[in-house]
């Protein structure tokens, strides 16, 4: 079994830190229109309090939803096993979710990316996000053609925590 991590892998960072760092940009983007409108209202002599009281919670909910979606859709780990592979998002790594093994049906290399079909889903792995492109591609191709009777491990906790952007053996 081989494991690879992307440049988005949180490493040993806590969930609070990962979510907090990821929330900064969406929160700023969602609160900026609110602050501009409140400033305009103050300059026009209108009390901005009712507007801010209603709009601030909406902006925060949108920012949290945006952050949650981004962390759930950004791939962080790829594990290979003969005939199977498992991907975990940043969100799943932080929450330490069990590996969801899927059969490897197709592996295609394109310029600057790898398309891999696991189960019924095709994932695109960008070269800039996955260091060790050649080793990763070889492991995926090997997983596609190799088979074993042994079931894959359900959890990745037996692997030592990733410390570099290279392959974990």
Q: Over the stretch 60-75, which tens digit does the pLDDT of each residue have?
A: 999 999 999 999 999 9
Average pLDDT, stretch 20-34?
Answer: 95
Q: CB–CB of 18/71 below 8 Å?
A: yes
What are the pLDDT digits (tens) for 87-108? 999 999 999 899 999 999 999 9
Domain positions in the chain are 2-8+76-145, 15-72
State which H helix or E strand residue 138 sits in. helix 133-145
Spatial distance between the Cα atoms of 83 and 142, rounded to a whole number of angstroms: 8
CB 142 within 8 A of CB 126: no
Under DSSP, the state recorded for 157 is T
Give per-residue pLDDT as tens, 108-162.
999 999 999 998 999 999 999 999 888 999 999 988 887 766 667 776 654 443 4
Residue 36 has pLDDT above 50, yes or no: yes
Global confidence as pTM: 0.77
């Amino acid at each position: 079994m081989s494991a690879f991590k992307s440049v988005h892998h949180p490493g040993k960072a806590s969930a609070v830190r990962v979510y907090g760092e990821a929330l900064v940009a969406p929160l700023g983007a969602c609160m900026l229109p609110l602050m501009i409108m409140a400033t305009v209202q103050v300059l026009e002599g209108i009390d901005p309090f009712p507007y801010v009281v209603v709009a601030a919670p909406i902006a925060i909910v949108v920012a949290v939803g945006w952050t949650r979606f981004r962390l759930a859709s950004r791939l962080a780990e790829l594990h290979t096993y003969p005939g199977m592979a498992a991907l975990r998002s940043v969100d799943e790594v932080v929450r330490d979710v069990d590996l969801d093994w899927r059969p490897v049906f197709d592996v295609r290399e394109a310029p600057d990316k790898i398309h891999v079909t696991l189960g019924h889903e095709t994932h695109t792995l960008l070269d800039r996000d996955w260091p060790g492109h050649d080793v990763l591609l070889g492991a995926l191709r090997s997983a596609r053609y190799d088979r074993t009777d042994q079931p894959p491990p359900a959890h990745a906790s037996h692997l030592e925590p990733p410390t570099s952007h290279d392959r974990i053996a």
